[in-house]
Amino acid sequence: MREFEKNIRKVEPYVPGEQPGEKVIKLNTNENPYPPAPGVRTALETMDTERLRLYPDPSAEALVRELSRFYKVDPSQVFVGVGSDDVLSMCFLTFFNSEKPILFPDITYSFYKVWAELYRIPYECPKLDENFRLVKEDYYRENGGVIFPNPNAPTALYEELSTVEDIIAHNRDVIVIIDEAYVDFAGPSAMELLDKYDNLLVVQTFSKARSMAGMRIGYAVGSPTLIKYLNDAKFSFNSYTMNQTSLICGVEAVKDQAYFEANLRKIIDTRQWAKGELQKLGFQFTDSKANFIFATHPDYDARELFEAMKEAGIYVRFWGSRRIEQYLRITVGTREEMETMFAFLRKYMKK
């Protein structure tokens, strides 16, 4: 190693799912198969490009206001960022500065470990139980903060709010972050608990239920105090995180509640139907409450199946990591995309 390399920050980066260029059936990164709300298209078509000369509003006020209206909270309780990855990364930097380890499950969004390493935050990973459920008692021990997704990824399991509340209530001296990237497909949001717990922060995204992964918008909702600390960190990092286009389109997406709900309904219906089809083929899977299904097959090796599907132009996600080496994560696509996948699987399994 060269002398100068000793002082270089070395990180093992998060590996995102592939974004293949050619036409494939893409069920590997939990994107929404439907377009964003029509208002987003209109906003883009009628956008005043002259405005791009100028820096965007650093406080992202229009988007913050629209989100605060949607969630019936004060604008001082909303923080926005470039996808929830940006928001979560800022949260790690801002809230997890204890010498004690932060806690997140052993099987969860693999970016948490990457941020902990990047920022040199000690961490421990309590094991999910044999059914991939969170063991709430594991989060009663002393710690420097808690974070988990609900529903969890890649298990797709949703924990009832009573479980979430129990964990928050046992951790009043640290910040508890609930990553709700998939909550709209699942059940009640922990936002319901915000009035009771000033140590709670709820993080959500436009990437899944709002069909805008390409736009990169995420947000956190919490007490004005926590949001102020987040903004202080953001303004010490990059004032203009949200670009002008995202600000305009984000507002349009939030305004159209009817489209949002219809979009959710379609995905939930396809998910329920797809579970039945997977079952007919002999797959086993968790009770998915997200826009993806976490499945395993007793007779087929997950890696081989993943490779065969990829060869056929059907991309799903496979990690091969401990405890989940026999699992595939299949994003819920359109009914047609799923039909194509099932046709392939039937042929492959000669069923």
Nearer to ligand PMP among residue 79 and residue 300 (C-beta): 79
Residues numbered 215-244 forming contacts with ligand PMP, rule: CB under 6 A: 218
Q: What distance in Å separates the CA atoms of residue 167 and residue 160, rounded to the nearest whole number?
A: 11
Residue 213 engages ligand PMP in binding (rule: CB under 6 A): yes
Residue 153 engages ligand PMP in binding (rule: CB under 6 A): yes
Residue 205 engages ligand PMP in binding (rule: CB under 6 A): yes
Q: How many other C-beta atoms are found inside a 10 Å radius of the C-beta of residue 60? A: 25
In whole angstroms, the minimum distance from the beta carbon of 280 to ligand PMP comes to 28
Nearer to ligand PMP among residue 66 and residue 179 (C-beta): 179
In whole angstroms, the minimum distance from the beta carbon of 351 to ligand PMP comes to 31
**14 is written with which tokens?**
């998060």
Q: Which residues lie closer than 8 Å to 337 by C-beta, 6 or more apart?
A: 25, 27, 33
Q: For residues 93, 99, 100 and 104, what is the CA-based torsion angle, rounded to 10 degrees? A: 20
In whole angstroms, the minimum distance from the beta carbon of 350 to ligand PMP comes to 34
Asked if residues 128 and 134 have their Cβ atoms less than 8 Å apart, the reply is yes
Residue 149 engages ligand PMP in binding (rule: CB under 6 A): yes
Nearer to ligand PMP among residue 77 and residue 150 (C-beta): 150
Nearer to ligand PMP among residue 152 and residue 270 (C-beta): 152
Q: What distance in Å separates the CA atoms of residue 8 and residue 115, rounded to the nearest whole number?
A: 16
Question: Could you say which of 207, 246, 263, 331 contacts ligand PMP (CB under 6 A)?
Answer: 207
Residue 83 engages ligand PMP in binding (rule: CB under 6 A): yes
Closest CA to 128 of 118, 138, 120, 119: 138
Question: Could you say which of 109, 285, 300, 319 contacts ligand PMP (CB under 6 A)?
Answer: 109
**Phi (first) and psi of residue 137, to 5 degrees:** -60, -25
In whole angstroms, the minimum distance from the beta carbon of 13 to ligand PMP comes to 14
In whole angstroms, the minimum distance from the beta carbon of 60 to ligand PMP comes to 15
In whole angstroms, the minimum distance from the beta carbon of 3 to ligand PMP comes to 37
Residue 181 engages ligand PMP in binding (rule: CB under 6 A): yes
Task: Return the SS3 of 340.
Answer: helix
Strands 176-179 and 123-124: unpaired
**178 is written with which tokens?**
């609930």
In whole angstroms, the minimum distance from the beta carbon of 84 to ligand PMP comes to 3
Q: Quick one: which segment of 32-40, 83-91, 240-248, 274-282 binds ligand PMP (CB under 6 A)?
A: 83-91
Q: Quick one: which segment of 56-64, 82-90, 140-148, 319-327 binds ligand PMP (CB under 6 A)?
A: 82-90
Long-range contacts of 164-170 (CB under 8 A, 24+ apart): 164/190, 164/193, 165/190, 165/193, 165/196, 165/197, 166/136, 167/134, 167/136, 167/139, 168/193, 168/197, 168/199, 168/200, 169/197, 170/136, 170/139, 170/140
Residue 85 engages ligand PMP in binding (rule: CB under 6 A): yes
In whole angstroms, the minimum distance from the beta carbon of 87 to ligand PMP comes to 8
How many residues lie near ligand PMP (CB under 6 A)?
A: 12
Measured at the alpha carbon of residue 264, what is the angle toward residues 248 and 250, in degrees to the nearest 5?
Answer: 5
Look at the block and give the residue holding tokens 């219906």: 269
Q: Which residues contact ligand PMP by CB under 6 A?
A: 83-85, 109, 149, 153, 179, 181, 205, 207, 213, 218
